[in-house]
Amino acid sequence: MATWFDESRLDDETAIGAADLRLRTLAESGARVRREVGAAAEAIEEAVSRSLSQARPRAVIAAGPDSRLLRAVLEPWCPVPFVAWPGPALPGWAGSLDLVVVLAPEGSDTGTASAVAEAVRRGCQVVVACPSASLVAEHAAGRWSTILPTATADQLATAVAMLTFLDRVSLGPAADPEQVAAALDEVATACSPYRDLAVNPAKVLAIALADANPLVWGGSVLAARAARRVAESIRRASGRTALAGDAEHLLPVLEAARERDVFDDPFAGEGGELRPVLLVLDDGAEDPVVREQRGRLQAAATSRGVRVEKVTTEAPSEVARYASLLLTGTYASEYLRLGLTED
């Protein structure tokens, strides 16, 4: 059975209707950020008040499997030692002088619950973003604990609520939740399923990915995190290889690509070999190392005749730019899923 990409489905109301739930979930990303931060506002105030009444923590520990997003945001910025600890425990040195923050959008992970219970037992200051009626919340009960109640199971929205707290206590960068929500709303408008293919960046990107194995790269720490998430969504949507990595990981793949033959018949054979395409997630970072790596990747792609696609954003903050790149790439993945058909 052959799989091919039918771009006409991207503007077909019947096909779009069949994918309505997934696309609607993406369109509501900004609303989920507002909902989570609004619902947690009182708890955030409580956590800020408690934190400001104490000395600055010796260190910040982000516990649980969702700690990697906090690491991408906080590692370059946090004024005290910061460590992400995704396992079901805590570092041996963690104690009452430290702040433990936990993202648990689902609230049901036993490993995360174990880490939270350990933090409470050691007397750490604990701030947990999770559903108020959940396994993790039960283990978070303690004198120095605050639960930021969540309801949407959205990792990004949960992270924005936590980052709002960390911003307020000067342990994280500016994370204005309205800026993040507005950036997500702008992407949802630009990439709406009812916006024509000719002016819809996510649909255009889906077409570019339709006959390729994507190599996804982001230069900054947050753009690289978005690249990994986008590659995951492409794999889920298409069942194809999609790689994300640092420049040194992607360069050998580009350099090994067969040079494009101008005499190749694109319609010959059954599907043919899928060539790589370099997808650059550009959040505007102009660090010299980022520029150098981007230049090397693009030069390698050009030398092998590999297409280069770029997703950009003009959102005003780091977290908003991350959210914008991630949502655009996720929309493209859903349109890729929508267009792929089997005969």
Per-residue pLDDT tens digits for 145-198: 999 999 999 999 999 999 999 999 999 998 899 999 999 999 999 999 999 999
Tokens describing residue 126: 């604990």
Helix ranges, 191-261 (H): 201-209, 221-238, 247-256
pLDDT beneath 50: ranges in the chain: 266-267, 269-271
Write the CB contacts of 39 (distance below 8 Å, at least 6 apart in sequence): 149, 150, 151
Straight-line distance from the first to the last Cα atom of the chain, in angstroms, rounded to the nearest whole number: 6
Q: What is the DSSP letter of 229?
A: H
Tell me what pLDDT residue 271 has. 46
Tell me what pLDDT residue 1 has. 62
- How far apart are alpha carbons 320 and 318 in whole angstroms? 5
| Each residue's pLDDT tens digit, 196-234 | 999 999 999 999 999 999 999 999 999 999 999 999 999
Provide the Cα torsion 38, 87, 242, 310; round to 10°.
Answer: 40
Q: Walk across the sheet containing 308-312 and list its strands.
A: 243-244, 212-218, 275-282, 308-312
Tell me what pLDDT residue 87 has. 84
- How far apart are alpha carbons 156 and 148 in whole angstroms? 14
Tell me what pLDDT residue 270 has. 45
Tell me what pLDDT residue 174 has. 87
Tell me what pLDDT residue 176 has. 94
Angle between helices 155-168 and 177-190 (to 10 degrees): 150
Count of Cβ atoms closer than 10 Å to residue 112 Cβ: 29
- How far apart are alpha carbons 262 and 290 in whole angstroms? 32
Tell me what pLDDT residue 338 has. 97
